[in-house]
Structure 1
Amino acid sequence: MFTVLIRTIILYFLVITAMRIMGKKQIGQLEPFELAITIMISELAALPMQDTRIPLVHGVISIITLILLQTILAILQLKSEFLRKLINGTPSILIKDGDLDINELRYQRFNINDLMEELRLQGYYNISDIEYAILETSGQLSVIPKTDLTPPSKKDLDIKTTQDSLPITLILDGKINHKNLQSLGKDISWLEKNLNKNGIKDFKEAFIVLIDSHGELYFQKNLKNNKK
């Protein structure tokens, strides 16, 4: 029992490390070879956990080999467009100028119902409204509507705006983030003064305090849901 526990812990951290090395893509964004390696790693990790007769080192060596293979292929694809096309394939145009490419749909085994569902999920209901629909190598569908149906931007409407910035956390669960406070060019006195204005007398009373994307102070108390 103890042996199984130790083997499971080792394999768990090994698989987590493998996923970290492979990058931050979601399952739906994995290229075919990345998905294949992910499935193989999960199978190789499961076998030594289920069957203690299989030496743990066999599973570890196999997983490390796949990680190295994936890393080498990823580097080679960065350097070679031919290899990238060979391994991942190329995007396929399913709709062009509002017309379906029937041959491409058949080749990709992509039926009309699936295509219409993908279009609806992106807010389009008519094939004639689409300039291009491209099936990416990851399996996701990119949709480019006809220009006259593209939603207007604030620039098109001549609406003056200011660029949003990333929110900066100043206090989390009563603890001050001095590094973020310093990056704003502020000090403890400034923070204390602003919190006092909003009825917070002690930093520990605040669950979260941050400067939001509009440059405004946002806070929430630990016990009361008072917000600004």
Structure 2
Amino acid sequence: MLVVFIRTLILYIVVITAMRIMGKRQIGQLQPFELAVAIMISELASIPMQNTGIPLVNGIIPILTMLAAQILISFISLKSTRARTIICGRPSVLISGGRIMEQVFRKELYTLNDLLEQLRSKDIYNIADVEYAILETSGQLSVIPKAGKAKVIREDLNLSGKYEAPAVEIIIDGDLIEKNLKLAKFSKSKLESELKKLNIQSTKDVFFACVGSDGQLFCQKKEKTKRS
């Protein structure tokens, strides 16, 4: 029992030291290769921790090897922009000039629901208020609101607050969410009329549509895919 305790304590110290050397990033800010190294280090430590028949050094050496590899890759990324792009990738613009970049969503295997969830976490409840949205290489979303939609502190301006309800999504990737039509107080006939004004004949042709708290419809048509 004492041997297990000592081995666990040693491996714990080695893993914590290795993670501290890797840097002070939060889990959500780790690059893909850094996350892979972190997972592999934890796995390498758990094997000799559970099996006392495996020499302790057989767990420590692979951990130190992974740490050295991670430091080397980080150093290369620091010195070379091209290597950094290959290793970490590039940020992807999901919304540009208020327009949803449908092709980028397909390339990144990113869904509209993922985008809406991250926008809500940033207190943005209407996609129509977004000028630019950039998916960083760490998976975090950076958002630039449209002019006039940036946050202000009402107390500093001596303004009374007005409640603004979140936008209601009514069409996502061609699928009409009928129950949300009632929530948005939008009838099918009104929706069809609004779509025709935008020269859209069917909801199947809509990539995304939502109704804001002001009753205004935000709608974007699907992009036409090129056939080879």
What's the TM-score, normalizing by structure 2?
0.65
Structure 1: stretches of 5+ with no match in the other structure:
158-228
Name the CA distance, whole Å, in 2 between partners of 1:143 and 1:153. 19
Cα shift readout 1:22-59 (whole Å, capped 9, x = no counterpart): 11111111000000000000000000011112111111
- Matched letter for residue 143 of structure 2: V
1:134 aligns with 2:134: yes
Give the secondary-structure state (helix, strand or coil) at the position aligned to 2:93. strand
Q: What is residue 122 of structure 2 aligned with on the other side? A: 122
For 1:46-57, what aligned pairs fall within 5 Å after superposition? 46-57=46-57
Name the CA distance, whole Å, in 1 between partners of 2:153 and 2:96. 24
Q: What is residue 60 of structure 1 aligned with on the other side? A: 60
Name the CA distance, whole Å, in 2 between partners of 1:153 and 1:78. 39
Q: Which of these two proteins has the greater Rg computed from alpha carbons?
A: 1
Residue 152 of structure 1, CA deviation: 4.6
Q: Does the 8 Å CA contact 1:7/1:56 hold for their aligned counterparts?
A: yes
Residue 153 of structure 1, CA deviation: 7.8
Residue 120 of structure 1, CA deviation: 1.4
Residue 6 of structure 1, CA deviation: 1.3
Q: Does the 8 Å CA contact 1:99/1:127 hold for their aligned counterparts?
A: no
Q: What is residue 194 of structure 1 aligned with on the other side? A: none
Residue 69 of structure 1, CA deviation: 0.8
Structure 2: stretches of 5+ with no match in the other structure:
158-228
Name the CA distance, whole Å, in 2 between partners of 1:70 and 1:135. 24
State percent identity of aligned pairs.
56
Q: What is residue 86 of structure 2 aligned with on the other side? A: 86
For 1:210-221, what aligned pairs fall within 5 Å after superposition? none
Name the CA distance, whole Å, in 2 between partners of 1:96 and 1:46. 45
Cα shift readout 1:176-195 (whole Å, capped 9, x = no counterpart): xxxxxxxxxxxxxxxxxxxx
- Matched letter for residue 26 of structure 2: Q
Q: What is residue 70 of structure 1 aligned with on the other side? A: 70
Give the secondary-structure state (helix, strand or coil) at the position aligned to 2:10. helix
Give the secondary-structure state (helix, strand or coil) at the position aligned to 1:139. coil
- Matched letter for residue 149 of structure 2: L
Q: What is residue 10 of structure 2 aligned with on the other side? A: 10
What's the TM-score, normalizing by structure 1?
0.65
Name the CA distance, whole Å, in 2 between partners of 1:59 and 1:151. 51
Q: What is residue 95 of structure 2 aligned with on the other side? A: 95
Q: What RMSD over aligned residues (CA atoms) do the two structures have, in Å? A: 1.7
Name the CA distance, whole Å, in 2 between partners of 1:151 and 1:43. 44
Q: Does the 8 Å CA contact 1:44/1:63 hold for their aligned counterparts?
A: yes
Q: What is residue 225 of structure 2 aligned with on the other side? A: none
